[in-house]
Amino acid sequence: MIRSRRLLAALALPALSALAGWPASPAVAQATYPTRSITIVVPFAAGGPTDTVTRLVAEAMGRDLGQPVVVENVGGAGGTLGAARVAQARPDGYSLLLHHIGMGTTPSLYRRLSYDAVNGFDPIGLVTEVPMTIIARKDIPANNLQELVELIRRQRQELNYANAGIGAASHLCGLLFQTAVGAPMTTVPYRGTGPAMTDLIGGTVDLMCDQTTNTTEHIRAGAVRAFAVTTAQRLPSLPDIPTTAEAGLPGMEVTVWHALYAPKGTPEAVVNRLSRSLQFALRDEKLAQRFADLGTAPVAQDRATPAAARAFWQADIAKWRPVIEAAGQYAD
């Protein structure tokens, strides 16, 4: 009878805690996780490349977790507002962040932040590495990348280079491109990739470097001219576009990686459960096909893990720090 009473008390505790508004014990919370919807914060506006990737992942993870996975767009300040929201959230697995390469550059681009950009998160796993494309207005007087580079070196700052703001993937790719070319251009920052692409298509600006998730459809439609992809191999989605190395600009390789994070201090069991769910999502045939349509692919399963994501993230911070410091361009 004593044992029965103890068992009933143990079973009743979570319900009583919930009714009283008390938090369940960590052990109970981890064993039953998740019991309600999960929010993935995208630190950029809806409709952009990172938002597209996140919504595909969220849908598939929701099927595995048995709870809705809701996407919330918290844009502004180069992605730092959304990142801060998650870094300062309760570390219980219900507030997550899906961010891109900005997680590797923020520690160098920003000298003052309201959160710890290096130690404020627990990585869950990598998601994808999106190639970049060097594109221009469709009537630019150059037929290949070599001719484009010669044009840039002749006209230098007479040419306008569009990006989605300091810290955006298009800004970072532009820094590498101008370094590789050895000639500066006039930079035109926008409040997002959408308006930058609109002006490029309209001929208001001359050049841009952006993710295939945002450029592939415009390239196929002939709305912009593509000169190279920033990968070691050509892309199946754009087989006629040469790599930067093939086009005469070796060393100009960059991808925009995306990863999923939880706030620092999230229980290890919850992080591991989320990692398993992410791996489930990346095996989904519908997600893989949609990624392929956008010119990218899910990472291998062994990269969708906390350890692999942390190692990659730390290496990327080290890679970008000297580039940003040499450029002397900071976001604050």
At 154-167, the pLDDT tens digits run 997 889 999 988 77
Please state the separation of Cα 260 from the chain's center in Å. Answer: 9
User: CB-based burial of residue 325 (10 Å sphere; 0-12 exposed, 13-18 middle, 19+ buried)?
Assistant: exposed
Q: Which portions of the chain are predicted below pLDDT 70?
A: 1-30
Query: What confidence tens digit (pLDDT) does each residue in 166-223 have?
Result: 778 888 899 889 888 988 899 999 877 888 999 999 999 999 999 888 899 999 999 9
Q: Write down all domains in the chain, each with its CATH number in brackets.
A: 36-130+257-327 (3.40.190.150), 131-255 (3.40.190.10)
Length in residues, the chain: 332
pTM of the predicted protein model: 0.79
Q: Return the half-sphere exposure (C-beta side, CA atoms, 13 A cut-off) of residue 165.
A: 18
Helix, strand, coil percentages in the chain from 3-state DSSP, rounded to 5: 50, 20, 35
Name the residue among 288, 316, 315, 317 with its Cα closest to residue 301: 288
CB contact at 8 A, 134 and 177:
yes
CB contact at 8 A, 317 and 118:
yes
**Secondary structure E strands in 247-296:** 255-263
User: How many other C-beta atoms lie within 10 A of the C-beta of residue 296?
Assistant: 26
C-beta pairs of 315-318 under 8 Å, 24+ apart in sequence: 316/101, 316/103, 316/104, 316/105, 316/257, 317/104, 317/105, 317/107, 317/108, 317/118
pLDDT of residue 8: 44
C-alpha 64/C-alpha 274 separation (Å) is 10
pLDDT of residue 13: 44
From first CA to last CA, the distance across the chain in angstroms is 66
pLDDT of residue 2: 45
Residues ≥6 apart with Cβ < 8 Å to 155: none
